[in-house]
Structure 1
């Protein structure tokens, strides 16, 4: 077998594996048109490989990564495709990738599970290891009924109990910083609450 025919067979094999005409031409030091002529000599059309084969492989990879729960951005990075190509491909395949928020907070069953074990939004955020405010915004947009359930305002009786507790701690000589730590509040929140409720 001559060197030329060996090279041509390598070119055809690379084209079938999904390599583009330009990339093959650069590798072998020939023009894109010459690569196309070689491929045609072997009875292949442009649809037999190159971008078409590459696209088919990419679609399979995109579908697989989507089923594994990746976001569009993660799929684009892992497949070296543009974000728009991934989005269009998923739409064409009838698949929907997880959003970054879903990835961060979990699906509906995870949200419900965390909410059932939480007394407040703060508790839920701590359990999930996420920011309380961003979780609140996410729940407000996607699960407002869960947010209402865990964001109940304390009753007047609970507020009175808290007032008495804070007054007692102050009488014991505790500083606001210590009280805030005991009540698991941040200091500015406690100070604002004390000012609002006339506790000093």
Structure 2
């Protein structure tokens, strides 16, 4: 849980680090676990007890596009906020772009400190594409510096498929060992959850 050196608690909803974008509030209670019999409802609800947060562990949610990974990640983040944790949400691509810019304008150290500080950092859409050597190094530094602080990661790929996306096998082994071996892995499968959230046409009689 929050360390003694932490600043006053940020009880806002999880936000994107640079833009400060406030996400709509989502909860586990409003998630439709009946959308697919393949969803591990019991495992996800157990994560809602936040034992992983108190232990400084992480959560990896992976599966096809649209099954609700980001919803669950944000819902767990909101539960952590309610317990007084500092939570931050960001697209992984945005973090990597910000850190790349930080190398150019010498703000990298400041950006890394800001990303290390939260008790929970949510990395959405992790491992979407091949990473450059510089991006892999930045991720390694971020994950290494956050040892003992929780991550929530969403990905369309299983962790076993992340290795080929990292150009340096030594960095890949070190980075993924830190991520995978301290994380609760949740396989989310089934059809897209998004059609269930689509606004209904008042004239549409289908259910």
TM-score, normalised with respect to structure 1: 0.20
Greater helix share, structure number? 1
Q: Greater relative contact order (Cα 8 A, min sep 6): structure 1 or 2?
A: 2
Greater strand share, structure number? 2
TM-score, normalised with respect to structure 2: 0.19
Larger Rg: 1
